[in-house]
Amino acid sequence: MLIKFHRFSGCPIARYQIYEFIERQAELNDAGVETIILLHSSKEKTLSNFKEVPGLHIIADKEKTYYQLFHSKFILKKLFSISSWRAMFESFIKGYFPQFNKFEGGIIGIPSDFLVDEKSMIADLNYGKHFGDSWTVSEVLSKV
């Protein structure tokens, strides 16, 4: 199982990265990986942006309850990281722009990824160093 924490549902970087998982979840299913993606937005704002596909589940965690349990961070100084801005411009180039009506829960969340094995143990993890530092589908497949 893969558990991914992203920023709010209107974030262009999060949307760009999540849509890769929506499009390629069948590959993860074939590898035995179910995906859970959490966003710190309301259910209404989250589900209006993303559709679940078999093996991929989207969870709205507006109160950041699960973020706190997994120690996913919210760090203001990462807003000024060159790598964060690079990831943002990359998402713009791919056609993902900020949805200002869906900014919710703050803009300083850093992504994190947890790969959980069949014994329910964390086999690998990534606490992002900037807003765009989250595993891709290819990176996940290389770990299973």
The radius of gyration computed from the CA coordinates of the chain, to the nearest angstrom, equals: 14
Q: Which residues of the chain have pLDDT under 50?
A: none
Helix axes 82-93, 12-30, angle to 10 degrees: 70
CA triple 132-112-105, angle to 5 deg: 80
Q: Which pLDDT score, from 0 to 100, does residue 104 have? A: 61
pLDDT at 76: 62
Give, rounded to a whole angstrom, the gap between the first and last alpha carbons of the chain. 10
Q: Which domains does the chain have, with CATH numbers?
A: 2-139 (3.40.30.10)
Count Cα atoms within 13 angstroms, Cβ side, for 5.
Answer: 26
Question: Can you tell me whether residue 117 is helix, strand or coil?
Answer: coil
Q: What is the pLDDT of residue 1?
A: 97
Q: What is the pLDDT of residues 58-97, one digit of tens each?
A: 999 988 899 888 888 766 666 667 666 677 778 777 877 6
